[in-house]
Amino acid sequence: MSSHREKAKEFLKDEKFSSWQDSALWFVREKRDSATKEVKEWEELRKRASNIKAHTLSRLDFYLEEFEKNALKNGFEVHWAKDALEHNRIVYNILKKEGAKKVVKSKSMLTEECHLNPFLEHKGIEVVDTDLGERIIQLRGEKPSHIVLPAIHLKKEQVAETFEKFLDTKKGKSDPTYLTKEARKHLREKFLNADAALSGVNFAISQNGSFVVCTNEGNADMGTSLAPVHIASMGIEKIIPKMEDLGVFIRMLARSATGQPITTYTSHYFKKPKDKKVHIIIVDNGRSKMLKERDFIGSLKCIRCGACLNTCPIYRRSGGHSYPYIIPGPIGSLLGSNRDLQHNGDTAFASTLCGSCVNVCPVKIDITHQLLAYRKDYVDSGYLSKSKSYTLKLFAFVFSSKFLTEVSFNAAKIVLPFLPKRLKLWGNGRELPKLAKKSFSQIYKELENE
Amino acid sequence: MSSKSEILKSIKNASLEEVRRDDESFTLTTYEDKLKAFKESIKGVAGKFIECDESEIPFKIEEIFGKDKKIASNIKECSAKNVELESIKSPKELKDIDIAIVKGEFGVSENGAIYINDKNLKDRALLFITKTLVILLDKDALVNNMQEAYKKIPNDANFGVFISGPSKTADIEQSLVIGAHGAVELFVLLY
């Protein structure tokens, strides 16, 4: 399997597109900035959001049981799944019992994590992703490259080609409005004929057993209001204690994600309607294990806004598909490393540790500290390539001695400018700055002697 | 052991020390003129608004939409409607509705969202399946922000939704397109 570095190199070959993506994502980051500046209590909100999540995680068993008790009172059916396979089986068994053959699904990173679609398709069930971006990549057989903007890796011409093939749109017509209208028509038919609707959960409220789903397109609402069966999948970390806590999170989610003041639809499922069946599946799949890892517990606060992706200089310049885990970018590097250090751990190095992600995170996750901790684990577990590992050992040896450090710095000053470009660390696409004639410690000594 | 008890046991095993909840209040954004802020927010989310007297509402609707449209409403006094919601057996029958007219409970100045619940709604699908959504909203029923909004939501409906503007997407090259799956147009009639 090729590393993040190699895949990023591949992505950067198309210079025009990679710089378009870089600036498109930066534009979303700027929209986020101006949206947050409208709210003068923004930093207070971040602190509160982080505190509510930390509090909830510290009493998660209590809040989950409360949630279940209240959800049952509301007429919802509640299921618990230890892992992805159990989750998928529960979904399938509900569908089988209801005789459902066609299902529509709105965006849910959890179902991606569980690989639900291939599981259901293998059993002969038609699963249609209804978020426009997700539908596009589903038709193309790709995985999302961003958690909020799943098709950000595609040009409109590529979307036009895909729609021409599957939706019979006019050849060569790549106007986004035209393509969106055609997708609307195509998906209307799917909504009207669906036997069941699947959705994720943005927030589950322990106090009254209700849950919230946010979308801009209205696809979750179309699905769940038309189909007789609704199955909502949630990770155990989606719980918040009270309705009033939503005031904090709803104000932050869309502003952080896209710079909108709120998503177009913020839907609250309070009770089961008479003519419908509503199932909630509470999924662990490795999350409770993270509670035991004090260094990494903070990732469970994530509300999946994607702000850390948009701001990350590495993500913006390497594209979502260079990351091996289903969630890319800084938060994906943490969650992926936690799930499978050997295969995903190299993404802990896909960061300059500049901390921009930490500054934009609405729940104040200590992303850079965690990345550093995963790097240590990765190296300690012996997963680092031999050449890198030897280089690092050499560095450690040199820098642990004052004498060797000084010698090597002086040598570097002479040698570095003459090194061939490909040998220079981070040399691709960069020029070395001019080296100072005197080192800091030399100047310091001279000043001291004056 | 059931999966539920296994999960709960695994959580308990983490034996985390309780993090205290910080309930101290802080100052929230408010507006001197809530109506003005609300109208600006509506524009920002690609919605449209019209101000009128309560008695003018039926004329306004006719004036804007004409008469040859399929119009549904859950408001008894709405004279513009020509689709009988009560006779509908499946939400799928709503698929050709051009205009839905419903009452909003209250609006939120900071984001242009309007809260609607399904208490008096025969089928909530109406809110999403219609081409044009018209929401009647009392000018005095405005709150500043979402914290205030959540204090106003009673737990007596099956479903409730904040709607802020027409449905939208930017999934193709980040170009904003209005009218993804839900309403293509959203009018707020402020009376």
For B7, the closest of A55, A80, A246 (CB atoms) is A80
Strands B142-143 and B106-108: parallel
Q: Which ipTM was obtained for this model?
A: 0.97
CB spacing of A264 vs B92 below 8 angstroms: no
Global pTM value: 0.94
Report if residue A205 sits inside a domain: yes
Is residue B15 predicted with pLDDT exceeding 80?
A: yes
Give which of B20, B22, B128 to mutate to test A binding, by max A Cβ within 10 Å. Answer: B128
Contact residues on chain A for B89, CB-CB shorter than 8 A: none
Report if residue A233 sits inside a domain: yes
Report if residue B163 sits inside a domain: yes
Whether residues A305 and A355 share a domain: the answer is yes
Whether residues A280 and A309 share a domain: the answer is no
CB spacing of A247 vs B159 below 8 angstroms: no
Whether residues A295 and A208 share a domain: the answer is no
CB spacing of A289 vs B163 below 8 angstroms: no
CB spacing of A289 vs B95 below 8 angstroms: no
CB-based contact (8 Å) between B102 and chain A? no
Report if residue A77 sits inside a domain: yes
Whether residues A87 and A213 share a domain: the answer is yes
Report if residue B113 sits inside a domain: yes
Measuring CA to CA, which residue among B125, B128, B136 is closest to residue B101?
A: B136
Report if residue A19 sits inside a domain: no
Q: Are A228 and A275 in contact (CB under 8 A)?
A: yes
Instruction: Give the structural domain span for B143.
Output: 37-80+92-190
Is residue B16 predicted with pLDDT exceeding 80?
A: yes
Q: Are A27 and A239 in contact (CB under 8 A)?
A: no
Contact residues on chain A for B159, CB-CB shorter than 8 A: 267-271, 273
Whether residues A375 and A413 share a domain: the answer is no
For B29, the closest of A40, A86, A154 (CB atoms) is A40
Closest approach of B80 to chain A, Cα-based (Å): 25
**Residue range B108-165, pLDDT digits in tens:** 999 999 999 999 898 999 999 999 999 999 999 999 999 999 999 987 899 999 999 9
Stretch 17-76 of chain B: residues touching chain A, C-beta under 8 Å: 17-22, 26-29, 41, 44-45
Report if residue B181 sits inside a domain: yes
Q: Are A265 and A225 in contact (CB under 8 A)?
A: no
Q: How far is CA B15 from CA A61, A63, A393, A446, B3, in A?
A: 10, 15, 37, 56, 19
Report if residue A107 sits inside a domain: yes
CB spacing of A262 vs B164 below 8 angstroms: yes
Whether residues A59 and A171 share a domain: the answer is yes
Whether residues A299 and A443 share a domain: the answer is no
For B159, the closest of A59, A183, A269 (CB atoms) is A269
CB spacing of B7 vs A258 below 8 angstroms: no
Of B77 and A289, which is predicted with more confidence? A289
Task: State residue B104's pLDDT score.
Answer: 96
The predicted model gives B70-92 an average pLDDT of 87
Give which of A262, A275, A292, A301 to mutate to test B binding, by max B Cβ within 10 Å. Answer: A262
Report if residue B28 sits inside a domain: no
Domain boundary among A233, A265, A285: A285
Task: State residue A418's pLDDT score.
Answer: 73
Give which of B146, B181, B185, B188 to mutate to test A binding, by max A Cβ within 10 Å. Answer: B181
Q: Which residues pair with B189 in a beta bridge?
A: B50, B136
For A180, the closest of B113, B149, B169 (CB atoms) is B169
Whether residues A102 and A135 share a domain: the answer is yes
Contact residues on chain B for A268, CB-CB shorter than 8 A: 153, 159-161
Domain boundary among A252, A285, A318: A285
Instruction: Give the structural domain span for A369.
Output: 4-11+289-380
Of A353 and B65, which is predicted with more confidence? A353
Contact residues on chain A for B3, CB-CB shorter than 8 A: 80-82, 86, 284
Q: What is the pLDDT along chain A (450 residues), one digit of tens a residue?
A: 578 999 999 999 999 999 999 999 999 999 999 999 999 999 999 999 999 999 999 999 999 999 999 999 999 999 999 999 999 999 999 999 999 999 999 999 999 999 999 999 999 999 999 999 999 999 999 999 999 999 999 999 999 999 999 999 999 999 999 999 999 999 999 999 999 999 999 999 999 999 999 999 999 999 999 999 999 999 999 999 999 999 999 999 999 999 999 999 999 999 999 999 999 999 999 999 999 998 899 999 999 999 999 999 999 999 999 999 999 999 999 999 999 999 999 999 999 999 999 999 999 999 999 999 999 999 999 998 888 888 888 888 888 888 888 888 888 777 777 776 655 556 666 677 777 888 888 899 899 887
CB spacing of A187 vs B149 below 8 angstroms: no
Whether residues A252 and A105 share a domain: the answer is yes
pLDDT bin (cut points 50, 70, 90) of residue B80 is confident
Domain harbouring B118, CATH code: 3.40.50.10420
Buried b (16+ CB within 10 A) or exposed e, B37-52: bbbebbebbbbbbbee
For A217, the closest of B20, B41, B180 (CB atoms) is B180
Whether residues A108 and A230 share a domain: the answer is yes
Report if residue B16 sits inside a domain: no
Task: State residue B154's pLDDT score.
Answer: 83
Q: Are B65 and B132 in contact (CB under 8 A)?
A: yes
Domain count within chain B:
1
Domain boundary among A355, A380, A405: A380
Chain A to chain B Cβ contacts (< 8 Å): 242
The predicted model gives B15-28 an average pLDDT of 94
Task: State residue A425's pLDDT score.
Answer: 56
φ and ψ at residue A278, rounded to 5 degrees = -125, 125
Q: Which residues pair with A269 in a beta bridge?
A: A211, B159
Closest approach of A341 to chain B, Cα-based (Å): 21
For B91, the closest of A226, A263, A289 (CB atoms) is A226
CB-based contact (8 Å) between B151 and chain A? yes
Domain count within chain A:
3
Whether residues A222 and A351 share a domain: the answer is no
CB spacing of A151 vs B164 below 8 angstroms: no
What is A294-328 written as a DSSP string? TTTGGGGG-----HHHHH-HHHHHH-GGGSSSSS-
Domain harbouring A302, CATH code: 1.10.1060.10
CB spacing of A218 vs B181 below 8 angstroms: yes
Rounded Cα distance between B34 and A271, Å, is: 32
Whether residues A271 and A135 share a domain: the answer is yes
CB spacing of B153 vs A217 below 8 angstroms: no
